[in-house]
Chains A and B, each alone.
Chain A
Amino acid sequence: MEILISIVVGILFTVGTYLILSKNITRIIIGTGILSHGVHLLLLTMGGLKQGAAPLLGQEAASYTDPLPQALILTAIVISFGVTSFFLVLAYRTYNVHGTDDMEKMRGLENDE
């Protein structure tokens, strides 16, 4: 299972990187979203998959899955949500001010200040 998930993670990274390299600012933000999904899945996979019950002591199971990666991912999800929403509003402002969503036109070369 881990190998399969690793391949899925690789595909998510490929798609995320590919989108980040594009010109359109929206696609870049979508790319960061995909990339963070990939990272979260990677974190979970590294902790080992399905090695026991959910980390709730009431389950009285013989073994539990590792709770630490889950705690880390939870933190990461919240942070990436904050960053993504900030990026989105930033992109919205950029449209408003510069009237373009093309990164190649936002180079700040000599004629642009």
Chain B
Amino acid sequence: MTVLHWATISPFLLAILIPFLYKYARPIHTGWFVLVLPLVLFIYFISFLPITSDGGVIEYSAPWVPSLGINFTVYIDGLSLLFLLLITGIGSLVVLYSIYYLSKKTERLHNFYVYLLMFMGAMLGVVISDNLIVLYTFWELTSLASSLLISYWYHRKKSTYGALKSMLITVFGGFAMLGGFSLLYLMTGTFSIREIISQVELVTSSSLFIPAMILILLGAFTKSAQFPFHIWLPDAMEAPTPVSAYLHSATMVKAGIYLVARLTPVFGGAAEWFWILSGIGLLTLCWGSISAVRQKDLKAILAFSTISQLGLIMCLLGLGSASLYFGYGTESTVYTTATLAAVFHLINHATFKGSLFMTAGIIDHETGTRDIRKLGGLMTIMPITFTVSLIGTASMAGLPPFNGFLSKEMFFTGVLNATELSIFNMQTWGMLFPVLAWIASVFTFLYCLIMFFKTFTGKFKPENYDVHVHEAPIGMLVSPIILGSLVIIFGLFPNLLAYTLIEPAMAAILPTLLGGDDVFKVHIYHWHGFNPELFMTIGVIVFGTILFLLMKKWAQTTIYLRERDPLNRVYDGTLSGLATGGNKLTSFYMTGSIRHYLIYIFSFLVLFIGFMFVRLNAFAFGGETAPITFFETAIAIVMVIAAIVVALARTRLTAIIGLGAVGYSLATFFVFFRAPDLALTQMVIETVSTVLFLLCFYHLPMFKQKFENVKFKLGNLMVSLGVGILVTMLAISSHNSKLFDSLKDYFVAASYDEAGGKNMVNVILVDFRGFDTLFEILVLGIAAIGIYSMIKLRLAKEEQ
């Protein structure tokens, strides 16, 4: 366990202390204690920047379950460090924001910060782990923490609904991912990501390549809210806004992106990987941006916007993986632009989406509503919030000079380059990429306009709000201001990021493209000249503005008015269908009737053993048998008649007499078959049992004295006939296939010499196999005690 290990799990350790801090330091907002940790971690992780910028990596291993190859290995390269800085940096800002957002007096802060720290630790673990199983463990912890945070206000029905939904969907993906990881282990024999990458040809040549890829992508897509698993994200907006800002825009939803980027060296270069990633990404992009336009709630718009931007990043990672197909060389460098854009947009999205969520939270906090139909005219009342929102929205819409503009330009470059790909059937389908991307950008621009103008412009109507509307306290504004400034700084000086973060991250995603000491040379320009990308951007702005101006015309269409995603109906239907279906199935066979259960048991017995009998052709007839004599046959006939009388008896007495007749016939058989002790016992026991039966009947309550006629049930008869025939077959066949001699000779020889007795049966009972007898006595004793207590004990009141 090195310092790095402790740093990774430090949030968990602090989480243990939080309840005590909350209880014993009530005057101070618990958030201040929490704030220290991400700040320290952020500074600590910054100290690794020089190492990764030079292409170095840091790796330490600590054993966890070494016998299974599971070690807690921390591994930092450009990609991990980028995420580590995002998590701790935005984490600090979110904690600061939450200190002002959540009231010390009314909220259960200890819960909130324990969950938040748990999430932070889990997320650090996901991005720092080199071992797939450790990664998976932390991955599920993020799902758990996320659900806890969504249901933070657990008295609200919608919160628990959203938490359950996100849990079900992300854990479904998590399990699929675990399956994929196991397949990777089967192929390579190791859980270490680096070792898997170093023997990637084992993976690519394996028949398990596609299943492993699809299972792992299921995990990544559910976590990163890709189509059609995106439906949990809008419902996760029931969480407190700091949570939405942190988990559902900047960090957790990027865990899937991280996983895809991390495993690109393993799966990248395959056509399936390329198509699934870029196709689903593009679909999510369009679906999310079109859905966002329909929303009336600020956070819902931001949720769908997040979905659409995540789709954009996923699509770019897919396009970028094409470069792996070409390998090291000049041809691939064109396509690495997409990977560059993905990494760059990842950073940009975290900054502007974080700030937008925070401003939305401020508006909610200060006005009491997030409904854009009620909001309006806040520009002069909340000038700082307005400014930060303007920057964030402009960046999201892709306007110069903000960072969103740069990444959008690179995105267009990426999709345009994709049309020139000569692989993976891109000649036929390639043109779809820029067209769909362009349409999605128009809608992105449109919802940015709607969100911004509906909130801040227009006339201020005080009657719309329940509270006195004013600007937020400065403490709440600090975090969005910092993020907004970063939007501008990264927009004006993008190359600050290029050498420090983007190049090492690209080197981690596309390691095989670098020969020797090469590094990616990234330089981001504002001005490319008059190229197609620029005209596409101008087109986006023009069409977006036109659509916004004409909004009154299309705002009344039913499609626009329907806010909820139609896929929710599939989710809800599946869930309730599973519940009712499971209910029906269970109540179909769990009837509570013992008769039914016995029929299942007997039928299974008959069918299973009967099937094996036929299958193995186990019938055996003939062999040595004793001669049939008159007296025995007569007794057999008596016994059969007595048994049938019992079965058909109309009164209880007949049945009991019949049972006695069967018992005495059995005793007679024992006599015939040379078993004197058995005959004696059977005779006595049968007598006592008959007396017991009669005694019991005497004590029966008066009603239902009349013994009911047996309802002739064909089913019962079939089952019992089956059992009878099966037993007869078994008896005959096994009698005729003797595998070895019995122990008879031993008992004959040893009874007198060793045990000193001449009655062999008795010698066996008390000497050779005395333990049987001991416990048989115990059984009788227990039965006696049981009977005594059943008669004597009357615990229930009504019986007293």
Which of A's residues lie within 8 Å of B, judged by CB? 1-24, 26-27, 30, 33-34, 37-38, 40-42, 44-58, 64-68, 70-75, 77-79, 81-86, 88-93, 95-97, 99-104, 107-109
Contacts and interface: CB of A to CB of B under 8 A. Distances in A.
Interface string B585-602: 000000111110011001
B692 A88 contact: yes
A23 B782 CA distance: 28
A68 B593 CA distance: 40
A44 B742 contact: no
Contacts of A18: 647, 716-717, 720
Given A4-B633, A8-B640, A21-B719, A46 B734 contact: yes
Given A52-B674, A55-B761, A1 B725 contact: no
A50 to B, nearest CB: 4
Interface string B753-780: 0000011110011000100110010011
8 contacts: A14-B723, A38-B727, A49-B626, A55-B747, A57-B751, A81-B780, A89-B786, A89-B787
Main secondary structure on chain B at its contact with chain A? Answer: helix
A56 B763 CA distance: 10
Contact of A50 (B674, B699, B796): B674
Interface stretch (B370-378, B455-463, B656-664): B656-664
B354 to A, nearest CB: 52
Contact of B708 (A15, A24, A41): A24
Contacts, number: 269
B473 interface: no
B504 to A, nearest CB: 64
Contact of B673 (A49, A58, A103): A49
A74 B639 contact: no
Contacts of A85: 689, 692, 783, 787
Given A13-B723, A89-B791, A58 B643 contact: no
A103 B765 contact: no
A71 B769 contact: yes
A14 B639 CA distance: 13
B592 A108 contact: yes
A6 B731 contact: yes
Given A4-B628, A37-B662, A70-B761, A10 B728 contact: yes
Interface stretch (B272-280, B575-583, B675-683): B675-683
Contacts of B594: 103
Contact of B625 (A3, A73, A84): A3
A101 B643 CA distance: 22
B685 interface: yes
B643 A4 contact: no
Contacts of B782: 82
Contact of A75 (B598, B663, B776): B776
Task: Please name the 10 residue pairs, one residue from A and one from B, whose CB atoms are nearest each other, closest first.
Answer: A14-B724, A10-B728, A107-B592, A17-B720, A82-B783, A67-B760, A6-B731, A18-B720, A55-B760, A57-B758
A68 B639 contact: no
Given A49-B626, A95-B700, A70 B678 contact: yes
Nearest to A6: B731
Given A4-B636, A42-B731, A57-B748, 12 more contacts: A1-B625, A6-B732, A12-B662, A14-B724, A18-B717, A54-B674, A58-B758, A73-B678, A75-B773, A93-B791, A101-B700, A104-B595
